[in-house]
């Protein structure tokens, strides 16, 4: 054994005997045996282990490189530059912003349509920014799509209906004659609208819009779907119906031969304005139905009550419980909205120069808006990254339900917008100053690590500061 002390104790002796060169025995001192290095075996083990590890690592790397070269021989290591990082951050805004005025224009003989909406086929988007916005409103289940409709003077948005959405419109320019045909055509409601007024068409209700003034009509339209809008025009339905079926249904003079005289035009007639209109139409009349029928589908938003704030004005076309604050006709519209599922609340918001619609959020609705005039800045604080961006004429913005947001006017002129909210009930909103005042000072002090008396510096005003000025 290597342990010499152990060997001594085991023999029970304090000395050893040894012999001289002649062979005689004599007493001698014990001689220590040669001691082996106690770390030699450990060193050998560690060296072997290290060699194994290095060999294994090298082998794995070689295999990985061979595999990578086989799968993608041109693969490169991706390095994110500062520019790309900034671009990714910038892209966040397009979840909430759409430059509708710059989007693809769908031209027709009688006008044009532009869209800020979701599309199932990514190839149908004209830009990555539009696709990001479309995906955002769809992912949030917003039940809102927005578009603009321009109808030339004397032009017609063909009679049609929507399978999967109610429609709310706001006339920005011109004048129009509207027709609505309800179930069974028991009542055909017609009415005239001018700039600043709102219209409403329930889902699967046939309706038309005829431009009647000397200038073009320009509508902003909201539809209560975040999926692709499904629409059928009367002419498309007619030409898709077998001739004999159409003849038996309409029973015209000449029967099926009369039906065969209809020829489908080469151009889409969704917004129609034939060259020979004067020859085709004579003595057209634009009848107004009784008020109790008209106000189911019409609202004089421009002429409604103005809610004044230090920094601007809000007007509403919305449902109110018990009809509080509404006149007789407005109550008819209010009840009509509430009776149909998935309707919208509309409103106009005017923010004076340098005014602010203070940070707030909505409990029960997504919000979508369109800039009519002026320019501003929007800020959004939600569950994801916060962002802010500038808005101008023709831009659409979107605020998901529960997302805190603000809008600030930043031009020399007022910022004027039309807003839509995805609820047919009373809109529920909470402003920043209101929830600060509603929270106990000692709670705020503990949260913000400030002395309790500091929160006395946040004043209360007699006048609502929802839209305020500095």
Neighbours of 465 (CB within 10 A): 18
- Six token digits for residue 366: 């997504």
Domains in the chain, start-ordered, CATH in brackets?
A: 1-71 (no CATH), 85-430 (2.60.120.10)
Q: Give the pLDDT confidence of 198-257 residue by residue, as tens digits.
A: 999 999 999 999 999 999 999 999 999 999 999 999 999 999 999 999 999 999 999 999
Angle 128-139/82-91 helices, nearest 10 degrees? 50
Q: Which residue has the tokens 């951050």?
A: 89
Task: Note whether 174 and 211 are within 8 A (CB).
Answer: yes
Q: What are the contacts of 313-316 at 24+ separation with CB within 8 A? A: 313/348, 313/349, 313/350, 313/467, 314/347, 314/348, 314/349, 314/350, 314/466, 314/467, 315/347, 315/348, 316/345, 316/346, 316/347
- Six token digits for residue 447: 């949260």
Strand bridging mode 198-201 / 167-173:
antiparallel
Query: Which of the residues in the chain have pLDDT under 70?
Result: 1-52, 55-90
Q: Give me the residues paired with residue 171 across strands.
A: 219
What is the pTM (predicted TM-score) of this model? Answer: 0.81
The C-alpha atoms of residue 255 and residue 253 are separated, in whole angstroms, by 5
pLDDT at 325: 87
Task: Note whether 362 and 421 are within 8 A (CB).
Answer: yes
pLDDT at 322: 85
pLDDT at 76: 42
Nearest-5° angle of CA 153, CA 154, CA 160?
Answer: 110
The C-alpha atoms of residue 223 and residue 113 are separated, in whole angstroms, by 14
Nearest-5° angle of CA 227, CA 266, CA 270?
Answer: 40
């Amino acid at each position: 054994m290597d342990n010499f002390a152990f060997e001594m104790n085991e023999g029970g002796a304090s000395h050893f005997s040894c012999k001289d060169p002649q062979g005689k025995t004599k007493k001698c001192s014990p001689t220590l045996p040669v001691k082996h290095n106690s770390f030699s075996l450990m060193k050998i083990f560690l060296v072997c282990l290290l060699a194994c590890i290095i060999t294994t690592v090298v082998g794995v790397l070689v295999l990985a490189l061979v595999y990578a070269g086989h799968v993608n021989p041109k693969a490169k290591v991706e390095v994110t530059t500062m520019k790309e990082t900034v671009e990714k951050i910038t892209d966040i805004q397009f979840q909430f912003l759409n430059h509708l005025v710059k989007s693809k224009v769908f031209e027709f003989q009688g006008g044009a349509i532009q869209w800020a909406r979701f599309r199932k086929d990514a190839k149908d988007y004209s830009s990555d920014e539009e696709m990001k916005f479309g995906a955002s409103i769809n992912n949030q289940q917003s039940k809102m799509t927005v578009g603009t409709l321009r109808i030339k003077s004397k032009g017609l948005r063909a009679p049609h209906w929507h399978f999967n959405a109610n429609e709310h419109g706001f006339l920005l320019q011109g004048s129009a004659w509207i027709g609505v045909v309800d179930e069974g055509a028991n009542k055909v409601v017609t009415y005239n609208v001018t700039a600043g007024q709102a219209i409403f068409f329930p889902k699967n209700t046939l309706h038309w819009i005829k431009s009647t003034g000397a200038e073009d009509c320009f509508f902003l339209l909201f539809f209560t779907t975040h999926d692709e809008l499904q629409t059928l025009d009367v002419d498309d339905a007619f030409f898709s119906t077998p001739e004999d079926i159409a003849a038996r249904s309409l029973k015209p003079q000449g029967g099926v031969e009369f039906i065969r005289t209809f020829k489908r035009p080469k151009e889409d007639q969704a917004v129609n304005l034939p060259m020979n209109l004067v020859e085709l139409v004579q003595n057209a009349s634009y009848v107004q139905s009784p008020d109790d029928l008209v106000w189911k589908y019409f609202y004089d938003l421009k002429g409604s009550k103005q809610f004044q704030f230090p920094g601007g004005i809000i007007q509403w076309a919305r449902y109110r419980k018990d009809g509080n604050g509404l006149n007789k006709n407005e109550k008819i519209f209010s009840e009509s909205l509430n009776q149909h599922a998935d309707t919208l609340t509309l409103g106009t918001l005017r923010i004076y120069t340098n005014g602010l619609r203070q940070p707030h959020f909505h409990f029960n609705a997504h919000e979508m808006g369109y800039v009519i005039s002026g320019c501003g800045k929007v800020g959004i604080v939600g569950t994801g990254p916060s962002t802010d961006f500038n808005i101008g004429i023709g831009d659409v913005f979107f605020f998901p339900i529960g997302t805190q947001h603000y809008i600030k006017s930043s031009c020399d002129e007022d910022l004027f917008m039309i807003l839509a909210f995805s609820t047919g009930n009373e809109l529920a909103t909470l402003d920043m100053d209101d929830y600060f005042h509603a929270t106990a000072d000692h709670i705020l002090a503990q949260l913000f690590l400030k002395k309790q008396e500091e929160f006395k510096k946040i004043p209360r005003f007699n006048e609502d500061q929802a839209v305020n000025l500095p």
